[in-house]
Structure 1
Amino acid sequence: MEQNNSSRPPLSHDTKANDERVQHLAAVRRPELLRAASSGDLQLLVEFLSKEDGGPAAAAALARDVAILLEEAQPPALYPSPTTEGSSALHVVAASGDRKGYLQVAEEICKKARQLLLACDGNGDTPLHCAVRAGNAEMASLLIRQANCCGEGKAMLRMQNKRGETALHEAVRASHRIGMRMVEELMSQDKELARVVARDGTSALYLATSLHHTDIAQVLISHDRELSSSGPNGQNALHPAVLHSKSEVFLTLNIGICCFVF
């Protein structure tokens, strides 16, 4: 049952304002926060927030306004997080792990600064992009739940990075078991998500067939018979299938042939 979101103000979709905020905050150096997010240390995060002057309100503002420029942070050996310039604390923890500690840190950050769910780093990636790319399925599920709680689930799922890719593109690229799980969850949340294509025209279905991920291609088609099959340079998903000459790929494409545009 969908939750009542009347008490939860919608998150900001102002891309320009978000970009300006990220650029401004990227100059802020917060090594303690980076350490807490990249290590999944909830206690360290709580201590960091609570020590700020002004109490809970100031802590919330700090969590909301912090971003990390890794070039100015401590040596990578201390903070081994696969993040980029402009990454928020939520980006860092989303990419760093999938265990209980990381999930707890992510949930705490969301409580303090829900708008970070829609924040973009220097590559245009959201925390969901980062979680899915890292294969952190539990983290991705948590982020989706958090976004759904404030009525922004679909908006987050459809956010595109600078390549024009959604988190679904990243899920298709993932390892088979984890990738399948994340594709299933993303498509169950938004059955038309596979209609969103990247800037170069690459659809999730094209990506799946080109990577020989036949099972994932079947899942995509089963959720939406009208999904996009487009690819780069005027191609569609049949082109890599023909090149692979795999009978199971042809079977998959024949199942969904009605969705193809030649």
Structure 2
Amino acid sequence: MERGMDPAVMGEAIETGMDPATSLKAMDPATSGKAMQRGMDPALYKAATQGKVASLRQLAAADPKILSSVTPQLNTALHLAALHGHSKFASEVLDKKSELLVAKNDDGDTPLHLAAKAGKLKVAELLVSVARAWQDDPNTADTSPNSPLLVTNNAGNTPLHEAVRKRRSAVAVMLLEADPNRGHDLNGRKESPLDMAAREGLVQVVRKIVDMPWVQGRFVFSVSGTALHQAVLGGHTKIVEILLEKCPDLIDQPDSDGNNALHYAAQKNHPHAVELLLNSRTELAYKPNGWMESPLHVAASYGSTEAIKALLRHCPDVAEMVDSEGRNAFHASIISGKMSALRCLLRHVRRPELLNRVDKHGNTPLHLAAQMSRVPSAVMLLNDRRVDPCVLNHKGQTARSLVEMKLPSGEMDAYEMYLWKQLKRQESIRCGKQQLPPLATYPSRRASNDKYFERIVETYILVATLIATVTFAATFTMPGGYHQEKGIALHGHKTAFKIFIISNTVAMCSSIIVVFCFIWAWQDPVKFKVDQLLWGHRLTVLACLAMLVSLMTAVYITVAPTARWPAYVVIAIGSSTPAVVFLILGREVIYVPL
């Protein structure tokens, strides 16, 4: 078998518009299989990857057809030279076989694609100069599907797409200088190089594209939005400024879900982008997306507190907007569970009626928090005097009655019990003259079906008992001992000793309270969860912290006078223990593990 593709086959492919790689695949199956199995001549492969021009000349002189051979991935010698940045080798190949300029490998990449991906500027400039010569040729004009600057790979990307995707700014700028109109070509994902450059933050590339006037198909609808959407999404405020100046029409273009650029800025919590967009077009704050959500709704859903502040500072009345379910930003923050957004809204929205706004089902934000068991959010709302706990929804339910619907079945956990207790208290204080749903009482003692309840109670009692025992023993074995004649502590005059006494007492007394509270847990588990479990957990945490302080002060009293560094190490370890626990468990450490 001959080593490479027949020149006649290659020439016919170029004349008929078929790229050489396709022609290679279209060869006789048996011949093609042998070629694929054999691959490129090892000497040519080594010369192409190392850029050895002299070796190429020797090989081409010995076998003129050798440049038609390809690797198993259909890479030609020109592909390899472009990938490794060997411009002199690539020039020699083009002198001998210029049609390889548009040869495609198995991924559909031409040599110019590979040079763009790898950022090999000199090779790319060489290939572009040859491509320009092709453009000047009537047979390979710019409208030709095989024009090197227009050829797309299997992903639909031109060389410019690939340069931008790989953040090769220098190559991208050079390609744009060769053909400025390529900045708006769409790939298989309906993305232009301008969109991709805006997302990647390539300021020079974006400026180069927008400086060139563009009319035909200027704004093509895209699932991912416009270049302005992409710039906001990436947080590139400089590019946002350029696009707002050069392409002001982009600001009115939504994505496939109806989101404008301000929705994206609100989602990503980019306050500077919010400021830029609102200064350019204030009405963006009032434009809903496909779900009738304003940018403030989106910011509340994603917990974007800085964006919330910026939106309310520019457009305070945007807080009045509701979505398709009649819900405002307060509802959105409850549904998403973003307490930071709810806290920010409570601080910056002053009107009480917005805090008590009802949706299509008559539910206020407090109703939703109670219904969805968002206990921290519900407690935060209850702590605000503007929130009305007496509002009835369309089913005649208050937030309290929604919570206590779980009470008879015993499905309510300790936090919901705590919320129920707080809602009852607020209703008794503020809703005395209103007709409300009947107040439920504690269910029977057997109502609780929590399978972990028994183990939790036993664990708390065990921990509290151990702490009480250890701290009690420490009272009679004071650090440093006693005076043999007077019977008083030797270090009683030291500040560290006084801290030891206080912390030891706090640990012991807290643990004793926990033991006594949990002894009667079995009498009424439901009432215990409401009234005692949360306090028992808090006191156990307090006892553990106090015991740590006792340990550190006791070691300091007895060890520091003779060896300071071990005492300091113990203090450092003890001080970091709560931080490590919080790092591992997060905020869960302050919650009852039910």
The TM-score range, normalised by the shorter chain, is 0.7 to 0.9
Partner of 2:7: none
Aligned 8 A contact 2:20 2:103 in 1? no
Of 204, 207, 212, 2:196 maps to: 207
Partner of 1:222: 211
Relative distance call for 1:140 and 1:19 in structure 2 (3 A) is same
Partner of 2:126: 142
Q: Which runs of 5+ in 2 are unaligned?
A: 1-11, 27-31, 255-594
Aligned 8 A contact 2:14 2:99 in 1? yes
Partner of 2:241: 251
Letter in 2 for 1:45: L
Partner of 2:99: 115
Relative distance call for 1:22 and 1:87 in structure 2 (3 A) is farther
CA displacement at 1:153 relative to structure 2: 7.6
SS in 1 for 2:180: coil
Q: Give yes or no for the alignment of 1:242 onto 2:232.
A: yes
Partner of 1:62: 66
Mapped partners of 2:43, 2:249: distance in 1: 50
CA displacement at 1:215 relative to structure 2: 2.6
Mapped partners of 1:208, 1:11: distance in 2: 33
Partner of 1:78: none
Query: Within 5 Å, which residues of 2 pair with 1:15-30?
Result: 15=18, 18-22=21-25, 24=32, 26-27=36-37, 28-30=39-41
Letter in 2 for 1:62: I
Query: Within 5 Å, which residues of 2 pair with 1:163-174?
Result: 163-174=155-166
Of 99, 103, 110, 1:126 maps to: 110
Relative distance call for 1:40 and 1:246 in structure 2 (3 A) is closer
Mapped partners of 1:125, 1:180: distance in 2: 19
CA displacement at 1:22 relative to structure 2: 4.9
Partner of 2:80: 92
Letter in 2 for 1:115: E
Mapped partners of 2:83, 2:148: distance in 1: 16
Of 20, 43, 47, 2:58 maps to: 47
CA displacement at 1:13 relative to structure 2: 5.9
Letter in 1 for 2:101: L
TM-score (norm 2): 0.35
Letter in 2 for 1:91: H
Higher relative contact order (CA 8 A, sep 6+): 1
Mapped partners of 2:209, 2:132: distance in 1: 22
What is the aligned-residue RMSD (CA, Å)?
2.6
Partner of 2:523: none
Per mean C-alpha deviation after superposition, the further-off stretch among 215-224 and 110-119 is: 215-224
Relative distance call for 1:146 and 1:16 in structure 2 (3 A) is closer
Of 144, 149, 157, 1:157 maps to: 149
Mapped partners of 1:93, 1:149: distance in 2: 20
Relative distance call for 1:112 and 1:166 in structure 2 (3 A) is same
Q: Which runs of 5+ in 1 are unaligned?
A: 1-8, 53-58, 70-84
Partner of 1:180: 169
Relative distance call for 1:16 and 1:191 in structure 2 (3 A) is closer
SS in 1 for 2:223: helix
CA displacement at 1:201 relative to structure 2: 0.6
TM-score (norm 1): 0.76
Letter in 1 for 2:229: H
Relative distance call for 1:194 and 1:259 in structure 2 (3 A) is farther
Aligned 8 A contact 1:90 1:117 in 2? yes
SS in 2 for 1:170: helix
Relative distance call for 1:46 and 1:40 in structure 2 (3 A) is same
Pair member with larger Rg: 2
SS in 2 for 1:223: coil
SS in 1 for 2:82: helix
Mapped partners of 1:49, 1:259: distance in 2: 56
Identity among equivalent positions (%) equals 23
Mapped partners of 1:156, 1:201: distance in 2: 20
Partner of 1:81: none
SS in 1 for 2:197: helix
Mapped partners of 2:180, 2:230: distance in 1: 24
Aligned 8 A contact 1:126 1:161 in 2? yes
Deviations along 1:135-182, one digit per CA (max 9) or x if unpaired, are 10000000111232343484110110011101111222344xxx3332
Aligned 8 A contact 1:194 1:228 in 2? no
Letter in 2 for 1:205: L
CA displacement at 1:252 relative to structure 2: 1.4
SS in 1 for 2:148: helix
Alignment length, in residue pairs? 224
SS in 1 for 2:94: helix
